[in-house]
Amino acid sequence: MNWSLGGKRSFSQRRFLWVIIALAAALALYTFVVVPLGEAKKRADEEILMNQRLLQKYAEVLQNRKAAEGALDRTLRQGEEIRRRLLEEETPQLAAASLQDMAKRLATKNGLAIRSFRILDPKEVGSFRRISVQIDFNPISSMQGLTQFLYELENQEKEIMIGEADLLAFNPRMPNSVQGNLVISGYMKGNKSRDKEKDKGREKP
């Protein structure tokens, strides 16, 4: 009878011991396996998210850079086109002389006689300087020649504009005969543009 009670007690103790061991093993498994795996997965997910954000930012940077490079390329092309259409002379006097030579050449080509030139004061227009010359004509008998002269002036490689025009028919019996003057203008680099170029030149090593 005593042996039976002792055997039951021993069995209960062993079962309790196995339960303790199982709990300890489960706790150890959770502590040393499950928790580290969970933390590792969390860190991996965070790294993946961070890498995705970095890749997205890099893609945005590349896209913005391409857009910026495209805009810069267009600006440079436009700037080159503008420079090509400017008067290239270094001083307003030389630029005005260039305008006079151009007007003389086209007037002779189209059968017009120029009486005189008058160089007007240059004017700063933003980053540019406007050079203007007033042309006084002798009586013009060919409206076709005058029209062609004006057309060719405005279609030069350089940017030439026709400003004020005071052309009148003095003889009602000869409406095709006109006399008067007009102002033509071209553009060259202004003081601001030249100062910027000088500053850039000084910045170069």
Let me know whether 51 and 113 are in one domain.
no
Let me know whether 103 and 176 are in one domain.
yes
What pLDDT, on the 0 to 100 scale, is given for residue 8? 54
User: Could you tell me the CATH number of the domain that includes residue 187?
Assistant: 3.30.70.60
Let me know whether 58 and 27 are in one domain.
yes
What pLDDT, on the 0 to 100 scale, is given for residue 166? 85
What pLDDT, on the 0 to 100 scale, is given for residue 1? 45
Report the alpha-carbon distance of residue 192 to residue 194 in Å, rounded: 5
Q: Is residue 202 part of a domain?
A: no
The 3-state DSSP class for residue 83 equals helix
Q: Is residue 199 part of a domain?
A: no
Let me know whether 96 and 37 are in one domain.
no
Domain closes at, from 34, 65, 84: 84
pTM flag (> 0.95): no
Domain closes at, from 66, 84, 102: 84
What pLDDT, on the 0 to 100 scale, is given for residue 5? 45
Let me know whether 23 and 50 are in one domain.
yes
Let me know whether 74 and 126 are in one domain.
no
Burial label, 179 (beta-carbon count in 10 A; 0-12, 13-18, 19+): middle
Q: Is residue 108 part of a domain?
A: yes
**Count of domains in the chain?**
2
Let me know whether 63 and 107 are in one domain.
no
Q: Is residue 59 part of a domain?
A: yes
Q: Is residue 203 part of a domain?
A: no
Containing structural domain, residue 72: 1-84
Let me know whether 109 and 130 are in one domain.
yes
Centroid of chain to Cα 158? 23
What pLDDT, on the 0 to 100 scale, is given for residue 68? 64
Our separate counts of H helices and E strands in the chain read 5, 5
Domain closes at, from 84, 114, 129: 84
What pLDDT, on the 0 to 100 scale, is given for residue 22? 72
Let me know whether 45 and 14 are in one domain.
yes
- Torsion of the alpha carbons at 80, 85, 88 and 90, rounded to the nearest 10: -90
Report the alpha-carbon distance of residue 152 to residue 158 in Å, rounded: 11
Let me know whether 74 and 123 are in one domain.
no
The 3-state DSSP class for residue 36 equals helix
Let me know whether 163 and 70 are in one domain.
no
Q: What is the pLDDT along the chain (205 residues), one digit of tens a residue?
A: 444 445 555 657 777 777 777 777 777 777 776 666 677 667 767 777 776 776 676 567 667 767 766 776 676 677 778 888 899 999 999 999 999 999 999 999 999 999 999 999 999 988 899 999 999 998 888 788 888 999 999 899 888 988 888 887 766 666 667 888 999 999 998 875 554 554 444 555 4
Q: Is residue 201 part of a domain?
A: no
| Tokens encoding 33 | 């396996």
What pLDDT, on the 0 to 100 scale, is given for residue 177? 73
Q: Dihedral sign for Cα 95, 96, 100, 102, please.
A: positive
